[in-house]
Structure 1
Amino acid sequence: MTTTISEEFPNPEKKSLDQLVFRLSAEDGLAPRFIPALHKHWAPRENFTIYVGLLTQYGRAKSGVELDEWQYNSNCFCNDMNFLLNCHHHEFWSYMVFQKTALAAVVSFLQRSTPFYLNVWTQLVSQQTIIDLYEQILQLVLRIVCRLITNRESDEAWLTIEHQRELIYKNFLISVPMLFDLLMAVGDADAQNTAVLRRIFDSILRIEPNYKKDLLAASAFFRTAFRSIQTQAENEGFEGAGGGDLDENAETPYDDVALYTLDCAYSLSVLLEVCPEVQSMCTEIKLGQSIAQFYDNTIPFLYKNIFLINEAASSLGWLNLARLQYLKAFRSITCSFIEAVMANPATSITMAEQFIGLLTECLSEQIFVNDYGRLYPVELDVDILKQACKELDDYKASFIVQGYKQESKPTGKKINSRTNKAQNSGKSHKKNSPANSNSNVTTATNLSNERDIDLEVTSVLDVLPHLGTGFVRRVLSRYDNSEEAITAILEANLPPDLVNADQSEIYIPPDPQDKTYQQTGVKHFNVYDGDQYDVMTQDNPKCIIKQGKGMPNAPKNAAQLLDDKSDLAQIKSRYQAYSLVSEGESSNDEYEDEYDDSYEALLESETRVVKSKQFKAGLANVEDFSDDESEDDDAATDDKTKSETQSGHNKQLNFCENPEDVRARYEARRQAKWGNRNQGGATDYNNKARHVVGAPKGQGQDKDTLRNRDKKEKNKSMRANHNRKAGASFKRSRGMMG
């Protein structure tokens, strides 16, 4: 059965697509049918060509048979896109909604399109037809996307905004991944392309505000992408890293990671440029801080690993492009604060503080701060904020300006003198010239007093052994340390006058003979000329000048050698110090030289008395002596304690105790101890001889006798016979060892 469409889809009442119904009449006389304008009946075709990418892996264009196959496939794909564009309004929407293969064909091109930032067209210069065909396909796909976001094509072909929102969002005709692919296919290389992308995003957000939530989730995904890139960069080349075998066309194992880094950089920068609504979203998720950390940590690490493997790898250029795009993306975020301050002065202080806070948090990333401050001067932005917001804290603003301005200086040398700073800043803007080259070498020589340039040159050559020592010294003269110099070389972030310098330049140190010739006018040819022992250039060399036989001031003969008293003269002053004795007016202040002799005499007399007592006394007297000695020792200890207590204050004040006091105390102790023994037949109680014999048996005993007997009985087991232990201790105390 065949059907005909009456009057070629008329819409005299100008109804919208969701309300429009078409009448189909049957030729065999059957009753006509009524089919809605949006129906799968209007999309009978099922097969659409899937686009095949023009690039092989790692950003290289196809060639040979593969290129011919791509050209055939692209021609078929181009015909299919023309078919969709030539469909009527209701047919086009029916294909997009009900025929999934049509939408899949459009998505296949966006996913496999050639990124605008890859310079692959230089490989196809001789084949202009290939370039024209690709541009034609891109234009057709872009027209299809624009038709999807257009709700009114004419007065008879249109649909309501509510119906369009439902068709696009619920049927996933346009998704956020599709928009990101569109960003990479169109790009912002041309102002016209940027305007088209901006109009597409504005229309999508106007039709369906829910896309803002999707864009926020997509923006937050960049933080996850940064962590993934860092993990791959750290683990690439290790077993189990997940990267698989290295492709034969890959220059380094990090090519995939570098290309992914570049893709993320362009996606983020173009998105922030064409969609201002995303800029405020990035503030909520702190994407600016994540960009600064990724820029300062991951990109230098990735660049260094690639450079160590292959110095001429294409991925190094990709990383340099990625750096510029990340800085551009961060700039878009900071511009959103400035635009908000200018647009709404009522909330200007809040946005200004957020701007200052963002830059303050990124100050710890030195590489990022250095590059950003050099590319986008922060002081201009701060001046604009000060003019629009009078309440901005001047201290915070000045702190930010100084921080970014200081880190962005091309020379890493910090000089306290303002004059030197002005001179160095002026030199940094001069063109490369021999005078500047000589000044750089001179600067490196002057810095040798403050830091070890040779050691830093060695550190740089350990990492980059292909460089020349002269070039390394010139680079070190522009930075504070070897780490900053290595980073600048690896990132190709050298000052302008060193970018095109000869990296194999060799440093030839100055010849010390030339300096000697300038000083003396005599040209020498000895390796020791000009050293610290050279008498030709120094008046007082660090050596002894020998003239004639023998050494200077040496004895001429043996008699003079034996008669030499120079050693005695050197130690004469030492012994003269012992003769310095203080002399006072009174005799009490003078030192008594007889002290040592008299003290020794007292010790000898004491020893003689003790020995005579031991020979005269019997066994009973020996034990009695030991008992009495303990009591006398107790009494002497008490006397000693009292005397020490009385003279304690004087001992603290004197450096040493007066020898007269020592002799007096010793004599008193000796008299107290041996007085009773020397008096013999004393009759009073204190001087009475102590014994345990007592009176004859049966006549009664004195209580002292009983007490002495009891004491002897208790203590007799503590001492050996004849008191040998006490005698031995006494001998040792007097120095009589034997």
Structure 2
Amino acid sequence: MPVPLDKMQVVSTSNKPQPSLHSSRIEKMVFVKYFPPPANTDDRAEYDAWLERVNYLCDDLHWLLQLPHDKFWCQVVFDAGLHKSLDSFIQFSPRSHETLMNLPAVGKQRQLELCRLVFMTYLRMSTHKESKDHFITPEVFGDILYVNFLFDIPKILDICSLFGKNNSVLLNKMIGNIFTQQPKYTNDLLETVPTILEVLSNIAAKCGIHLEGVGLSPKKLKQSLNAPVLSTMPTLELQDIMLYLSDTAITLHRFLDVYPPACSVFQQFHFCSVIANFYESVIPEITVALKQHEYPSVSLKKSLTSNLHHTKKSILAIFHSIVQHVCLQPVLENASNEEVVSAATEEFLHTMTSVLGERRFLAAYEGIFNFQDDVVIFLQASSTLDSSQFEYIQSAINSAFATFGRRKSPRGDTNTGGRTSPDGAPDSSIGGATAGKSGGVDSNKWIGAKIPISGNDRYLTDDFQTEDYGEGAISHPRPSDVEIESLITSIKDLFPHLGEGFLEIALEELDWNQEKTVSCILEEKLPPSLHSISTDLPRQQKEVKQEENDQTDNTDLVDSRRNVFDNDEFDMFRNTNVDMTKIHLGKKEKKVDLNDKSAVNAVRATYDVYGSIDKDNIYDYISGGHGLNQQLMYDDEYDDTYDSNVVGADDADSADELNNKKIVPRVIMDLERKKIKDERRGAEESDDDDEGENNDEEQRVKDQFLADPAKMRELAEQRRQSQAGGGRRYVAGSVPVNRDVKGGQKGQGQSKEVVHNRQVKKKYKGQRYQSNADKKMSKGMF
């Protein structure tokens, strides 16, 4: 039968039996402490030292995890150096929500490997039964953890902050086993919650704000005199407050998300009221201070803004986790038990009523989590509940959301967060998203609705997105004024009895969708938030600010001008320090001497080279012979080849020539026509005489009795070559060109010559047929 480790006996070196879990069985190992990664990786010495330390830790933890069950627990329980090494890692290791480290790829890989080994070490330390043969008695296991300080509440919070985002399932089993096997940790958590409340109070005091809540100390008289101002606070101090606040909020959120039973402990101290009061009092002040503060760099401003965004999301998630576990989860698990449902409903109403004064908190909470979904659960579990209290809370949430809230994604007719008037101000005429025509809550509408899935996954799909630092954003952009006017006019043509103000509000509620708005009006299925609005509501005209008109009318023309000489050294409109010595006003007083020929004498030598009346130019002589200058002689052999061409005959006529029409008498025109006919008749007779001479010469050639055999053979060879060359003219003594178009085998590529021959063949293969076809067409054959 297997024996647990706490009852197992082994033989010592002195051959005496001793407990298996004994300090004499540990290995002498030196575990180094962990240091945070260097901020500047350019310092190679510091980076190499950190990387070497991380490698040592990875090797030591590899060795530790490979030890047998008994050796591992001896080393874990009795080795103080191991405790200090693990504590240094969870204290200085960067959290998952912090900015990514600017480390090389090797450094990041080793850091992630060390995180994995530390998590596996803590996971093995929290497991009392590894197999059937290796286990520890649960009661003894709880005492070992508690007595040897292997785990405590601060260490558990740090572990959740480090590993809670990506390892929530394993971490849930790990922490659940610790609290199950050792109930004293629950008592420690009860004693830790007042310390957490004090931490929140100290953070608010650092911001110059006093929190009023359960379990918080009263405000001191001298405290208001020395209250710091966030806007004038030094940058380092403001950064320290933001890092402390974000780390506290994210750690609590991760812990409650990983171990939900802890929510009951926090609720005993009315933590929901305190955290809502903290959000209402501190977060707006910090938001304004971050916007007004002057930062040494833009990256620091983005980092602090991101920390503020994480803090907001975490505080809202903490509130929802407590409400979910304390109020909603018992109803989902025991819906048939009226006592449990009644107690949970009372707790829910008490919690929500206590935070109705925190309007900014309610608006932010409604922007992420839907109060109506929670009400659905209670109304489905019990039909005897009074809906008037839910109506009161819903009305307060709608009013707060209309003033301070913004929803991330509007839901059309299921929009439950209230609304605002078209100009952005709160509209008192709108009762809320769930208010009917009478202003009440229609409980029948909630019956049969889908119960939301328990847990936070459906609400926080991305815990720490940093693209949008606001609490929410409108998903559909608002059209321009002209587009809105067009939409209202088109719907007004279909429903003339409806007011333009009502149509504008309906379009805004339905994401400016014209078809959807017309369909809802026809089917009388408008969103509940529009039921309390009068259908003949006129449209509010936007007032034009007088300041803008004055600013437009008083625009300086000098500032609005654009010139190529702007901002030069002589621009007196933008440059006050203009060198006036370089500017001359009026005529120059210096008299010009007309007898001064210095400028003419400067260029006289140049003109002399190219010649003048008195001197010969350089073109009158050429260099010839043996370097002697010889004057060009006149050449009387004049070339008159092109003298018969009429210069400019084909040029386009100018406009003057076209407009200048000369009238020639008819008699003169007849004489010119007769002259042209006589010239043509003479030319034809001369051509006939030439043809007669040619015929006589050919006749003489034909009269030869025998032709020259050599010429006959040459003519025959020409005919054969012409036929072989496809009709091309044969040149005596030339070798026919063999154009290769076949080339090599397919798939092996073709030479440049083959490709060229193929292109030539493709281009000219139909030229003869086309020429014959053109000839036939010109003669009218087809």
Q: Determine helix, strand or coil for the equivalent of 1:45.
A: coil
Aligned partner letter, 2:21:
L
1:173-572 equivalences under 5 Å are 173-188=150-165, 190=166, 193-234=167-208, 251-310=235-294, 312=298, 313=301, 314-336=303-325, 337-344=327-334, 345=337, 346-409=339-402, 410=406, 411=420, 413-417=425-429, 430-435=476-481, 511=549
Q: 1:49 to 1:369 in 2, by over 3 A?
A: same
- CA offset digits 1:393-417 (Å, max 9, x no partner): 2111101111112221343523355
Q: Determine helix, strand or coil for the equivalent of 2:4.
A: coil
Q: What is the CA-CA distance between 1:511 and the residue it aligns to?
A: 4.8
Q: 1:177 to 1:429 in 2, by over 3 A?
A: closer
Q: What is the CA-CA distance between 1:180 and the residue it aligns to?
A: 0.9
State which of 77, 83, 88 in structure 1 corresponds to 2:63: 83
Q: Determine helix, strand or coil for the equivalent of 1:285.
A: coil
Q: What is the CA-CA distance between 1:66 and the residue it aligns to?
A: 2.6
- CA offset digits 1:89-124 (Å, max 9, x no partner): 222211222221112211111111111111224x33
Q: What is the CA-CA distance between 1:437 and the residue it aligns to?
A: 10
- CA offset digits 1:474-531 (Å, max 9, x no partner): xxxxxxxxxxxxxxxxxxxxxxxxxxxxxxxx9785659999xxxxxxxxxxxxxxxx
Q: Distance in 1 between matches of 2:95 and 2:86?
A: 16
Please say if residues 220 and 287 of structure 1, whose CA atoms lie closer than 8 Å, have aligned partners that are also in contact: no
1:154 and 2:103 correspond = no
Please say if residues 216 and 278 of structure 1, whose CA atoms lie closer than 8 Å, have aligned partners that are also in contact: no
What corresponds to 1:39 in structure 2? 22
Q: 1:171 to 1:228 in 2, by over 3 A?
A: same
Q: Determine helix, strand or coil for the equivalent of 2:7.
A: coil
Q: What value does the CA root-mean-square deviation take over the aligned residues? A: 3.6
Q: 1:417 to 1:319 in 2, by over 3 A?
A: closer
Q: What is the CA-CA distance between 1:145 and the residue it aligns to?
A: 1.0
Q: 1:107 to 1:416 in 2, by over 3 A?
A: closer
State which of 101, 106, 110 in structure 2 corresponds to 1:129: 106
- CA offset digits 1:107-166 (Å, max 9, x no partner): 111111111111224x33xx1111111111111111111111212223432221122111
Q: Distance in 2 between matches of 1:420 and 1:240?
A: 43
Q: Distance in 2 between matches of 1:20 and 1:80?
A: 27
Q: What is the CA-CA distance between 1:34 and the residue it aligns to?
A: 2.8
Q: Determine helix, strand or coil for the equivalent of 1:116.
A: coil
Q: Distance in 1 between matches of 2:59 and 2:322?
A: 42
1:583-622 equivalences under 5 Å are none
Aligned partner letter, 2:244:
Y
Q: Determine helix, strand or coil for the equivalent of 2:356.
A: helix
**374-383 vs 320-329, which moves further:** 374-383
Aligned partner letter, 1:83:
W
Q: 1:398 to 1:34 in 2, by over 3 A?
A: same
Give the count of matched residue pairs: 415
- CA offset digits 1:671-706 (Å, max 9, x no partner): xxxxxxxxxxxxxxxxxxxxxxxxxxxxxxxxxxxx
Please say if residues 176 and 214 of structure 1, whose CA atoms lie closer than 8 Å, have aligned partners that are also in contact: yes
Q: Distance in 2 between matches of 1:419 and 1:162?
A: 58
Q: 1:419 to 1:511 in 2, by over 3 A?
A: farther
Aligned partner letter, 1:284:
Q
1:589-668 equivalences under 5 Å are none
What corresponds to 2:89 in structure 1? 109
Aligned partner letter, 2:383:
K
Please say if residues 340 and 348 of structure 1, whose CA atoms lie closer than 8 Å, have aligned partners that are also in contact: yes
What corresponds to 1:459 in structure 2? none
Percent identical across equivalent pairs? 22
Q: Distance in 2 between matches of 1:383 and 1:421?
A: 15
Q: 1:63 to 1:323 in 2, by over 3 A?
A: farther
Please say if residues 209 and 282 of structure 2, whose CA atoms lie closer than 8 Å, have aligned partners that are also in contact: no
* Greater Rg by CA: 1
Q: What is the CA-CA distance between 1:364 and the residue it aligns to?
A: 0.6
Aligned partner letter, 2:332:
M
Please say if residues 55 and 62 of structure 1, whose CA atoms lie closer than 8 Å, have aligned partners that are also in contact: no
Please say if residues 36 and 92 of structure 2, whose CA atoms lie closer than 8 Å, have aligned partners that are also in contact: yes
Q: 1:40 to 1:405 in 2, by over 3 A?
A: same
Q: 1:62 to 1:111 in 2, by over 3 A?
A: farther
Q: 1:32 to 1:15 in 2, by over 3 A?
A: same
Q: 1:437 to 1:276 in 2, by over 3 A?
A: farther
Q: Distance in 2 between matches of 1:404 and 1:20?
A: 62
What corresponds to 1:443 in structure 2? none
What corresponds to 1:454 in structure 2? none
What corresponds to 1:603 in structure 2? none
Q: Distance in 1 between matches of 2:292 and 2:22?
A: 61
Q: 1:334 to 1:72 in 2, by over 3 A?
A: same
Q: What is the CA-CA distance between 1:297 and the residue it aligns to?
A: 0.5
**301-310 vs 197-206, which moves further:** 301-310
- CA offset digits 1:211-251 (Å, max 9, x no partner): 11222333333211110101112299x999999xx99xx84
Please say if residues 370 and 404 of structure 1, whose CA atoms lie closer than 8 Å, have aligned partners that are also in contact: yes
Q: 4+ runs of 1 displaced by more than 6 Å?
A: 238-243, 419-422, 436-439, 512-515
What corresponds to 2:9 in structure 1? 21
Please say if residues 272 and 279 of structure 1, whose CA atoms lie closer than 8 Å, have aligned partners that are also in contact: yes
Please say if residues 164 and 255 of structure 2, whose CA atoms lie closer than 8 Å, have aligned partners that are also in contact: no
Q: Distance in 1 between matches of 2:186 and 2:351?
A: 23
Q: 1:306 to 1:208 in 2, by over 3 A?
A: same
Aligned partner letter, 1:213:
N
What corresponds to 2:690 in structure 1? none
Q: Determine helix, strand or coil for the equivalent of 1:341.
A: helix
Please say if residues 249 and 315 of structure 2, whose CA atoms lie closer than 8 Å, have aligned partners that are also in contact: yes
Q: Distance in 2 between matches of 1:357 and 1:63?
A: 57
Aligned partner letter, 1:435:
D
